[in-house]
Each structure stands twice: as C-alpha cells, then as structure tokens.
Amino acid sequence: MQVSLKRAIYEENDRLAAAINAGLRRRGIYTVNILGSPGAGKTSLVSRLAERLSRPLSVIEGDVASDIDTRTLRALGVDAWQIETGGDCHLNAPMIEAMLGKMKVEDAAWLFIENIGNLICPAEFVIGEDLKIVVSSAAEGHDKPWKYPIIFARSAACILTKLDIAEAIGFDEAAFRKGLETVAPGLPVFPLNGKTGEGADHIASWLIAARKAAAGT
C-alpha cells in the first residue's frame, strides 16, 4: 500500500516535470538542477557562473527556511526567486510550476535551480531540468561517492569545491575520484574555488557545450 502510494507520487511528479521541461525547452530555456550538501558551495557556483554566462539568467533558490541565498544573488544583480519548503527536504515539480507562474524567465535564458542542501531526496526527483549537477566540497570528506552513490550517478557533472582547504582537513582527492569512478564512471569533475571563481570558466564552457548538444537533439 505504502509502496504503491510512493510510486504514484513519483509518477505524478515525473509527468509534471516532463511537461515543465517541454514548456521551457519550447522557449529555448536551458534548466540546470544544482544538488549538494548544505554549504557545499551551490550558491557560490551560481554566483560565479552568473558573472560568466552572457545569456539572461534566472535562479530559483530552494531552502527549508530563509531567503538568504536569494538576497545574496539579488545583491549581485541576479534575477533570483526563493522557494521556502518549510521542512520538505527536496524541491518537487509542483513547487517549480508554482514558482514559474510568479517569476518571468526570459526566452532563451538559463534557469538554475538550487535544490535543498542534502545528498539524498533531491536526487530522487526530477523537477523539469535538462540536467542535474552535484556540488561536493572537500570539507565533506572523500568518501561521499561511496556513501551517497545515487546523487553522483544521476548527475551529469560533479563540481569539487574547497580544494584550497583540502590539506588542512585531510581530503584525499585521488580516493574521492576513485569512488566517483566506481559509482558514476566517466562523470566529469570540475574543481572550483567558490570564493575566487578559479575553475568557473571551465564549468561555464562545459554548460554551454551541453546546452548546444541538447539543442541539436
């Protein structure tokens, strides 16, 4: 009973997510669902990309509470909008549909969705995105791919932040990459210093290429 109810919830969400994605694609909007632990560097990544991407950019910020990240991005001139889930550990397609009704994403824009900080539930839901990317910080430890394989396996790229403090916290990058290769073979990894922006040019180029490849399909 519980299993079939859960399946029905997923199916309903997936149907709506597919419709959202189709609507955004028709308008030439490319949508990226950004996943990762609390404090991994998701908002820093968005800020660094906003400085580098030339098309219009809108952001949906997901948090359990507060509009701190939305205010941070707006202060940088980014068109950011906040969803407060009030406790839910992930965003879902109905939340995105409701938010898209309020905001005004320009045609042909980028739409970034910063999901709730957590390595479990956000990986299980599609919300209308073209692709997911996962931000993982050295501060979380190098064992994360083994412990949370699904989020890495469902992502199209991994952004590895906080390598500037790797030595101080004993982060073993080779072990992290070995874990990634085990759970998500071939997943591209992009080191990023979220504070200075070092590494963000490569991520921007990769996203532009992914967008072009999707348009060609």
Ligand X SMILES: Nc1nc2c(ncn2[C@@H]2O[C@H](COP(=O)(O)OP(=O)(O)OP(=O)(O)O)[C@@H](O)[C@H]2O)c(=O)[nH]1
CB 179 to ligand X: min, Å: 20
Side-chain-facing half-sphere of 28: CA atoms under 13 Å = 8
Spell out the residues 6+ positions from residue 127 whose beta carbon is closer than 8 angstroms to its own.
17, 20, 33, 91, 92, 93, 95, 96, 113, 115
Contact region with ligand X (CB under 6 A), list: 8-16, 37-45, 76-84, 141-149: 37-45
Q: Binding to ligand X by residue 132, rule CB under 6 A?
A: no
Residues 39-98 binding ligand X (CB under 6 A) are: 39-44, 69
CB 155 to ligand X: min, Å: 15
Q: Binding to Mg ion by residue 78, rule CB under 5 A?
A: no
Residues 45-74 binding Mg ion (CB under 5 A) are: 69
Judge contact between 120 and 148, C-beta under 8 A: yes
The smaller minimum CB distance to ligand X, of residues 32 and 40, is found at 40
40: nearest Cα among 140, 132, 114 = 140
What radius of gyration, in Å, describes the C-alpha atoms of the chain?
17
Contact region with ligand X (CB under 6 A), list: 36-44, 51-59, 79-87, 201-209: 36-44
**The Cα angle at residue 62 between residues 24 and 179, in degrees rounded to 5:** 90
124: nearest Cα among 103, 150, 147 = 150
Q: Is 60 exposed, middle or buried (0-12, 13-18, 19+ CB in 10 A)?
A: buried
DSSP 164: G
CB 117 to ligand X: min, Å: 3
The smaller minimum CB distance to ligand X, of residues 42 and 142, is found at 42
Residue of the chain from 36, 122, 128, 145 that contacts ligand X (CB under 6 A) = 36
CB 121 to Mg ion: min, Å: 16
Q: Binding to Mg ion by residue 43, rule CB under 5 A?
A: yes
CB 104 to ligand X: min, Å: 24
Give the binding site for ligand X (CB under 6 A): 36, 38-44, 69, 117, 161-162, 164-165, 193-195
Give the binding site for Mg ion (CB under 5 A): 42-43, 69
